[in-house]
Structure 1
Amino acid sequence: MSHWGAINLLDPSSPVQTEMMLFHDHAMILLVGIFSLVALLGVKLSVNKLSTRTTHEAQTLEILWTILPGFLLIWLALPSLRLLYLLDEQGNNGLILKAIGHQWYWSYEIPSSSTSSFDSYMVQEKDLSKGEYRLLEVDNRPVLPYNTPISVLTTSADVIHSWTLPSMGAKVDAVPGRLNLIGLSSYFPGVFYGQCSEICGANHSYMPIVIEFIKLEDFIQ
Structure 2
Amino acid sequence: MGSWSKLWFFDMNTVVGQELILYNDLVMVVAVAVLVVVGWFMLLFLNSRTFFGGKMNKYVYHNELLEIMWTMVPAFMLCFLGYVSLMNLYIMEVGDHVENGMKVTAHQWYWEYSYIVDFSSKEKEMDELWLSNWFEQLDFNFEISPELVEVVEEGVGLEGGDLFEGVGVKDGDCLLSVLTSGVEELKLLEMVSSWVPHVFLNCKWNYSYEVYEVFNSSVLDQGNFRGYTVTDACYLMSSVKNEMLISTMDVMHSWGVGSLGVKCDAVPGRVNSLGISPLRSGVFYGNCYELCGEGHSMMPISVAVMTLEDVSLVLKQGVLGTSDCVSTLEGVIMK
TM-score when normalising by structure 1: 0.91
Task: State the distance in 1 between where 2:69 and 2:40 align.
Answer: 18
TM-fit CA distance, 1:136: 1.4
1:192 to 284, 290, 298: 284
String of CA shifts for 1:10-58, please: whole Å, max 9, x gaps.
1110111121122112212111111122223333333332354676533
Task: State the distance in 2 between where 1:142 and 1:175 align.
Answer: 20
String of CA shifts for 1:110-167, please: whole Å, max 9, x gaps.
1126572111111226351332212112111122321121100100000111110111
Query: In the alignment, does 2:67 pair up with 1:62?
Result: yes
Task: State the distance in 1 between where 2:74 and 2:267 align.
Answer: 39
Aligned to 1:116: 207
Q: Output the amino acid matched with 1:137.
A: T
2:93 to 78, 88, 109: 88
Q: How many residues align?
A: 221
Task: State the distance in 1 between where 2:55 and 2:80 align.
Answer: 35
Query: In the alignment, does 2:110 pair up with 1:105?
Result: yes
String of CA shifts for 1:43-79, please: whole Å, max 9, x gaps.
3333332354676533221121111111111121111
TM-score when normalising by structure 2: 0.62
Task: State the distance in 2 between where 1:69 and 1:89 align.
Answer: 33
Task: State the distance in 2 between where 1:108 and 1:27 align.
Answer: 37
Larger gyration radius, structure 1 or structure 2: 2
The answer to whether the 8 Å contact 1:193/1:209 transfers is yes
The answer to whether the 8 Å contact 1:90/1:182 transfers is no
Query: In the alignment, does 2:32 pair up with 1:32?
Result: yes
Aligned to 2:36, what secondary structure does the other structure show?
A: helix
Q: Output the amino acid matched with 1:48.
A: S
Task: State the distance in 1 between where 2:222 and 2:234 align.
Answer: 21
- Cα 1:36–1:193 change in 2 (3 A) is same
Q: Output the amino acid matched with 2:295.
A: N
The answer to whether the 8 Å contact 2:110/2:299 transfers is yes
Unaligned runs of 5+ in 1: none
1:142 to 221, 234, 239: 234
Pairwise mapping of residues 134-173 of structure 1 onto structure 2 (< 5 A)?
134-173=226-265
Task: State the distance in 2 between where 1:72 and 1:42 align.
Answer: 20
Task: State the distance in 2 between where 1:11 and 1:166 align.
Answer: 9
Aligned to 2:83: 78
TM-fit CA distance, 1:98: 1.0
The answer to whether the 8 Å contact 2:117/2:207 transfers is no
Task: State the distance in 2 between where 1:91 and 1:189 align.
Answer: 22
Greater strand fraction, Structure 1 or Structure 2: 1
Q: Output the amino acid matched with 2:264.
A: V
Q: Output the amino acid matched with 2:25.
A: D
- Cα 1:125–1:75 change in 2 (3 A) is farther
Aligned to 1:209: 301
- Cα 1:125–1:9 change in 2 (3 A) is farther
